[in-house]
Amino acid sequence: MEASKMPSGALSPWNVADLPAPPTFNFRNVMAVIGPGTIALSMSIGSGEWLMGPSATVKYGTAVMWIVIVSVFFQVFLNQEFARYTLYTGEPVLTGFMRTKPGPKLWGWLYPLLAILHVGWPGWAAAAAACLFGALYGHLPDAAVAADRSTMLTLGYILFFGCIVIVLFGGRIERILEFVAWGMVIWIVVYLLIVDIFFVPGKAWTDVAGGFLKFGSIPRGPTGVDWALMGAFAAYSGAGGIGNCWITNWLRDKGFGMGKVIGFIPSAIAGKEVKLAHVGSVFEPNEKNMSGWRQWWKYLWMDQGVLFGIGCVVGMYLCVVCAYGMIPHGTDITGLAAGAYQADYLAKRIGRAMWFLTLINGFWILFGTQLSITDGFTRVVTDHVWACSERMRRLGDVRYIYYGIFIIFVIWGCIAINLAKPFVLLVIGANMAAFIFVVSGVHILVVQHLFLPREVRAPVWRQVIVALSCIFFGFFVLMNIVKLLGG
């Protein structure tokens, strides 16, 4: 069907334009084009690799590592199917969801609500504050000491406002986050390789690697299976839930596919005003455009398959090897100092010099994650408002909406950080992420069937993989519901 005749659902019809030609596919251009996968990888390392992976394997052993392989496999394909919509229309996938019936009056509220239930619990800022506390005071924070709790909260507030400062500068916000994410990922990988190679026993390396192959194994602890931890581990082995959806917002701002003709969200300082289109543009699936489409997919594979997919598995492996080889098995590492325990045990095993270095590593991981997530939520809501509200578009500059929502989210984070321990906040959000995988996985299949021409729609085998991902993550959601009901 011609692009101009494709149904556009509950929002304004798309414009029609040719697909921008991608640069010649070579190593130099790959390194210039990819980037959103790095931001997603930084989110994954912050919650899954540094926190959930060590917690699950120290508690249950390495037999749970197969969950990483399965989860990342499904998330790579989910990300690509979400991205398929963005490459074709230039719109983030959540805008595509709003095009389905009954339109923004349901989806425009539901997905931001799911996003706040997922990432509105600022466990990353709290865990980063634990690392910063340890580096400043020379010991881990103690939940029983009122002064420690108070200092932790103060540091958490400071980190939240640090997020605001960072996204104020530069040309486009996506580029700022990409720069921070690249620096973080390089630092983490180099640091963990040095620690693991020189200080972790070889048996830990082989035990963790063997766990990748124990498919279907979920060991039981003395009190049974902690399904909340297992669900969190499964969801956060990659980006997790709504984070996988807003990868498409970063792809749009980076200029992937038709995103190149839509515009992006600029920063407040040193960022020029950019006209961000409130409706996407689609292309005719002729020979010229389909040739460019196949080239864009090569870049998407490098960004989401190689950078994000392989990076998630390698990052989890290195973090778990470090924790499994250092921390006594059965240790509960989910308290107030979640994210900083690694430094304590490395200092005991290797020497006090590792204390500060490991805390800085943990801080960098967790703060970078909180930054990416705060921006991700903000841009999801911004794009929702920009696409649906003519009144808000009359402001003329999307930055007014973006920074207003950003500040509101930071204020909420400063309130929510008081509600529970860091790890508890992260587990709550992670299990909501598993539920979001189920909802968004079904929704993207509907969107593709309704709005994408046959030439660019996912083949059947890919649709089957998306359906299987819904079953996989839905299993953990179901087990948590059963556990809550006393089953």
φ, ψ for residue 221, nearest 5 deg: -85, -175
Span 412-433, average pLDDT: 77
As a whole number of angstroms, the distance between CA 426 and CA 125 comes to 10
Span 133-137, average pLDDT: 86
* Residue in 418, 429, 437, 315 with CA at minimum distance from that of residue 365: 315
Q: Is the pLDDT at 3 greater than 80, yes or no?
A: no
Highest mean pLDDT among 20-34, 65-79, 187-201, 256-270: 65-79
* Residue in 314, 315, 261, 256 with CA at minimum distance from that of residue 80: 256
What is the pLDDT confidence band of residue 266, given thresholds at 50, 70 and 90?
low
As a whole number of angstroms, the distance between CA 213 and CA 349 comes to 29
Handedness of CA 378, 94, 40, 120 (dihedral sign): positive
pLDDT of residue 277: 63
Q: Is the pLDDT at 248 greater than 60, yes or no?
A: yes
Q: Which amino acid, residue 295?
A: Q
CB distance 382 to 6 below 8 Å: no
SS3 assignment, position 419: coil
SS3 assignment, position 15: strand
Q: Which amino acid, residue 224?
A: G
What is the pLDDT confidence band of residue 442, given thresholds at 50, 70 and 90?
very high
In the chain, what are the domains? 3-484 (1.20.1740.10)
As a whole number of angstroms, the distance between CA 443 and CA 451 comes to 12
Q: Is the pLDDT at 297 greater than 50, yes or no?
A: yes
* Residue in 423, 474, 486, 447 with CA at minimum distance from that of residue 95: 447
Pick 28 or 240 by higher pLDDT.
28
Dmax over CA atoms of the chain, in Å, equals 68
Within a 10 A sphere around the Cβ of 113, how many other Cβ atoms?
10
Span 10-18, average pLDDT: 89
Q: Which amino acid, residue 206?
A: T
Handedness of CA 434, 384, 368, 40 (dihedral sign): positive
As a whole number of angstroms, the distance between CA 253 and CA 3 comes to 23
Report H helices in 103-238: 104-119, 123-137, 146-167, 173-199, 202-211, 227-235
As a whole number of angstroms, the distance between CA 243 and CA 441 comes to 13
Within a 10 A sphere around the Cβ of 146, how many other Cβ atoms?
9
Q: Which amino acid, residue 474?
A: G
Within a 10 A sphere around the Cβ of 2, how many other Cβ atoms?
11
CB distance 239 to 40 below 8 Å: yes
SS3 assignment, position 16: strand
pLDDT of residue 264: 63
pLDDT of residue 404: 86
pLDDT of residue 172: 63
pLDDT of residue 127: 77
Highest mean pLDDT among 6-10, 176-180, 214-218, 329-333: 214-218
* Residue in 302, 377, 440, 324 with CA at minimum distance from that of residue 43: 377
Handedness of CA 479, 57, 432, 473 (dihedral sign): negative
Rounded mean pLDDT of the chain? 84
Pick 23 or 409 by higher pLDDT.
23
Q: Is the pLDDT at 289 greater than 90, yes or no?
A: yes
Q: For the segment 62-97, what is each residue's pLDDT rounded down to a tens digit?
A: 999 999 999 999 999 999 999 999 999 999 999 999
* Residue in 43, 42, 50 with CA at minimum distance from that of residue 338: 50
Pick 285 or 327 by higher pLDDT.
285
pLDDT of residue 407: 85
Q: Is the pLDDT at 336 greater than 70, yes or no?
A: no
As given in the structure block, the two tokens for residue 171 are: 């040309």
Residues paired with 282 in a beta bridge: 16
Highest mean pLDDT among 83-87, 153-157, 201-205, 220-224: 83-87
User: For 84, what's the count of Cα atoms within 13 Å in the CB-facing half-sphere?
Assistant: 22
pTM for the model stands at: 0.87
pLDDT of residue 467: 97
Handedness of CA 175, 180, 184, 190 (dihedral sign): positive
User: For 394, what's the count of Cα atoms within 13 Å in the CB-facing half-sphere?
Assistant: 3
Span 334-346, average pLDDT: 72
Highest mean pLDDT among 37-41, 325-329, 376-380, 463-467: 463-467
pLDDT of residue 25: 93
CA–CA distances in Å: residue 7 to residues 163, 359, 367: 40, 53, 42
pLDDT of residue 125: 78
What is the pLDDT confidence band of residue 128, given thresholds at 50, 70 and 90?
confident
Q: What does the DSSP assignment read for 248-286?
A: HHHHHHHT-GGGGGT---B-SBS-------SS-EE----
Q: Is the pLDDT at 124 greater than 80, yes or no?
A: no
SS3 assignment, position 335: coil
What is the pLDDT confidence band of residue 340, given thresholds at 50, 70 and 90?
confident
Name the percent of the chain lying above pLDDT 70. Answer: 91
Q: Is the N-terminal amide bond of 102 cis, ω within 30° of 0?
A: yes
Beta-carbon contacts of residue 473 (< 8 Å; ≥ 6 apart): 71, 74, 234, 235, 434, 435, 437, 438, 441
Q: For the segment 456-465, what is each residue's pLDDT rounded down to a tens digit?
A: 999 999 999 9
pLDDT of residue 271: 47
As a whole number of angstroms, the distance between CA 323 and CA 56 comes to 10
CB distance 12 to 276 below 8 Å: no
Q: Among 15-24, 285-294, 388-397, 424-433, name the one with the lowest average pLDDT.
A: 388-397
Q: Among 257-271, 281-295, 426-440, name the one with the lowest average pLDDT.
A: 257-271
CB distance 57 to 326 below 8 Å: no
